[in-house]
């Protein structure tokens, strides 16, 4: 029996580790593009390594359950297609005995996901956000990319092109006075950026400019004039020191989040957003068990050797599960429908249906 259990477990672990490597690399790579842009502009390469390490734990909370689903679909789908499960059961080995080692590993992985979700991952995710901001402050020129709108001190800046030398071309600057309204527009042929790291200031120097000033009042008249040079200075040091002491719930440890909920209740304020965050973390952490219970009977019933079929089913199931939980976060502004409890429906549905289908298969 030990040889049989190791045979099944070995196949699952091999598929699991291959899947988690590919999935984590893909999901982490998408997030690393932000910091890679800054590194290409001259930011520290060490910041890239730190950012990757900081976002890894929260990425694993998604890729571990997904890799469990892929491993189960592939291994048990192959065993069923090769009639190995039928042979095992003919020898008196039950479905539960076959899947027992995989269940044990899945429970351990659930514990890992729970720790990453409630303790390690959120604070590191917050540090990753801060690291990205600090990297921008060290190399603020990276902010100005062609086709990207930058908002600095209620000033909107748009760049049409950027030369390898760093010179910017086709510049539009708007001094905002409200939503979709502005008091001044500066259109420049070209310009450059001067950074003073000691004073923490960024000076935006534009040349050959057409300046349009809107007059206040109901007339809305516009005064236009041409100037050879126009400068705009942004104090990014002042912006960086204006840090908010109030930490976002998404970046809190479990103890801090529970304390925030208790304090908010004492102030007679709504705690729906905080409770959604708490329940969402735990619901995500328990997803490996849900994927095991539903993936096992589906893999046995489909009886396919092809890797593409298992991958397709795992993508559909995992994607629908994660999407359903994330969608409940959108309902945070509707406390009357209790979104903090609705997000448990995917776990309940997956586990109930999976347990029922597994029981039916084991009785045959």
Residue 176 to residues 127, 148, 186, 213, 313, Cα–Cα distance (Å): 31, 17, 12, 12, 49
Phi, then psi, of 235 in degrees rounded to 5 = -90, 90
pLDDT above 80: residue 330: no
Confidence of residue 35 (pLDDT cuts 50, 70, 90): low
Residue 133 has pLDDT above 70, yes or no: no
Q: What is the per-residue DSSP string for 51-119?
A: HHHHHHHHHHHHHHHHHHHHHHHHHHHHHHHTTHHHHHHHTT--HHHHHHHHHHHHHHHHHHHHHIIII
If you average pLDDT over every residue of the chain, what do you get? 79
Quote the CA–CA distance of 287 and 289 in Å, as a whole number: 5
pTM score, two decimals?
A: 0.69
User: Which is nearest to 361 in space by CA: 303, 318, 285, 300?
Assistant: 300
Mean pLDDT along residues 20-31: 80
For the cut 50, the answer to whether the pLDDT of residue 167 exceeds it is yes
Residue 20 backbone phi and psi in degrees, to 5? -70, -30
> Residue 206: how many CB atoms within 10 A of its CB?
24
CB 288 within 8 A of CB 110: yes
DSSP string across 103-156: HHHHHHHHHHHHHIIIIIHHHHHHHHHHHHHHHHHHSGGGG--TT-EEEETTEE
Q: Partners of 223 in the beta sheet?
A: 213
Percent of the chain with pLDDT over 70: 81
Please report, rounded to a whole number, the percentage of residues in the chain having pLDDT higher than 90. 5
Q: Where are the domains of the chain?
A: 2-137+247-363, 144-241
CB contact set of 270 (below 8 Å; sequence gap of 6+): 264, 335
pLDDT digits (tens, 9 = 90+) for 142-160: 666 677 777 776 788 888 8
Tell me the Ramachandran region of residue 176: left when phi exceeds 0, alpha when psi lies from -120 to 50, beta otherwise.
beta
For residue 87, pLDDT beyond 90: no
- For 173-200, write each residue's pLDDT tens digit: 888 877 667 788 889 988 888 877 677 7
Lowest mean pLDDT among 157-171, 256-270, 294-308: 294-308
Residue pLDDT, tens place only, 223-282: 888 889 888 887 766 555 544 445 778 888 888 888 888 888 888 888 888 888 888 888
State yes or no: pLDDT of 115 exceeds 80.
yes
């Amino acid at each position: 029996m030990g040889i049989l259990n190791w045979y099944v477990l070995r196949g699952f672990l091999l598929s699991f580790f291959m899947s988690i490597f590919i999935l984590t690399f893909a999901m982490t790579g998408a997030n690393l593009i932000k910091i890679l842009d800054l590194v290409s502009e001259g930011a520290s390469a060490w910041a890239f390594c730190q950012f990757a390490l900081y976002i890894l734990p929260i990425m694993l909370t998604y890729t571990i359950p997904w890799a469990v689903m892929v491993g189960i679909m592939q291994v048990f789908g192959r065993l069923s297609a090769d009639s190995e499960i039928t042979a095992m059961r003919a020898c008196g080995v039950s479905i539960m005995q076959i899947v027992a080692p995989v269940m044990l590993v899945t429970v351990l992985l659930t514990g890992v996901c729970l720790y990453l979700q409630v303790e390690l991952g959120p604070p590191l995710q917050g540090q990753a956000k801060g690291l990205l901001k600090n990297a921008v402050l060290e190399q603020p020129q990276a902010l100005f990319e062609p086709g990207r709108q930058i908002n600095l001190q209620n000033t909107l800046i748009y760049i049409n092109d950027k030369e390898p030398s760093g010179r910017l071309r086709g510049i539009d600057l708007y001094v905002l006075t409200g939503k979709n309204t502005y008091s001044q527009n500066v259109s420049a042929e070209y310009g450059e950026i001067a950074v003073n790291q000691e004073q923490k200031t960024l000076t935006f120097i534009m040349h050959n400019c057409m300046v349009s000033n809107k007059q206040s009042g109901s007339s809305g008249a516009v005064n236009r004039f041409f100037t050879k040079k126009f400068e705009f200075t942004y104090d990014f040091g002042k912006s960086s020191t204006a840090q908010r002491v109030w930490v976002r719930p998404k970046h809190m440890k479990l103890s801090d989040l529970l304390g925030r909920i208790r304090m908010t209740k004492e102030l007679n304020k709504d705690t729906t957003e905080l409770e959604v965050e708490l329940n969402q973390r735990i619901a995500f952490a328990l997803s490996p068990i849900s994927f095991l219970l539903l993936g096992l009977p589906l893999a046995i019933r489909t009886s396919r050797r092809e890797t593409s079929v298992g991958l397709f089913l795992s993508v559909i199931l995992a994607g629908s599960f994660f999407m359903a939980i994330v969608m409940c976060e959108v309902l945070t502004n509707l406390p009357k429908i209790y979104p903090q409890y609705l997000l448990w429906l995917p776990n309940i549905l997956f586990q109930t249906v999976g347990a029922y289908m597994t029981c039916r298969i084991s009785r045959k």
